[in-house]
A and B are shown apart, each in its own frame.
Chain A
Amino acid sequence: MALGELTTEELLENFELFDDWEERYRYLIDLGRKLPDFPETDKNDTTKVNGCISQVWMTAEIEDGPPQRVLLKADSDAHIVKGLIAVLLVVYSHKTPQEVLATDINGVFEQLELGSHISVNRRNGFYAMVERIKSLAAAA
């Protein structure tokens, strides 16, 4: 299934099928491989999300409506981070700013048992991405 067709609910259901971390991460890595292409030319200082360990690039824009929608593209040099980005895209992309702001992203990651990736270390690039998307939605 292409990434764009997946809903948050389906994602949560799919993760529930897995018994252990290994299956969960294999699926996550697989999701990361399905990320839409992020043009190399867009990997610059403006799109770069500052993080300590891996590199992340992201563009976020608001598509004119009605209704307005948040459009996201992102990439990373780490497989697991690409997978986390894929989750983020499923949850946030093509949603209205109101839906983005109403989403409990921490809750989704907790349910996926991936909570440590966004809550433990606020200095990581992933946390910065979420903040960037939320402030874009708030300004829309």
Chain B
Amino acid sequence: MTKFQEHRGKILFLAGLLTALAVGWRGFPVMLFQHVPQPVEFSHKIHTGKAGAKCEDCHSLRDDGTFAGTPALDKCSGCHAQPMDTSAEEKRFIDRYVTPNREIPWQVYSRQPENVYFSHVFHIKLAHLDCRQCHGAQGESDTLAPARVNRISGYSGSPDFQNMAACEECHRQRGAANGCLACHK
């Protein structure tokens, strides 16, 4: 009997183990998420650089304290009613959305589940958090990454999606309320 035949069982077991590890660590994360491209190739860098916009110019708090979120079309068409430069992407944007007055179906990276209550105004005005602390260097990006959407739960898997553990950790560090009712009304 050869050495292989002698240890056949153990070798096959090990092969299964290694296959599972490879699939589990490499293959599964790729398969779990679908990558949904953004409908417009938008450059934060150009808008904050050349155009001189700040985060709150488009992502603002309304007078009643609610957060406007991703800007609606009228914010964009305020400047882009006509092409401002010669890029094909801008022309495509105007043809597809501005001219027919059609809202842009942005993919939201950081949308929380329905059972979570999150208030931007508390975190900006009371906790004095900077946008970058949760959303990273989004404002300096030249393109928008595709949104990673969990195929099973439907929730975001994008890097700046704050999961519950991240929220709890930050609350713990800052001594903020960490009870269930703080976020789950």
Q: Do A and B come from one complex?
A: no
Using a CB–CB cutoff of 8 Å, the interface residues on chain A facing chain B are none
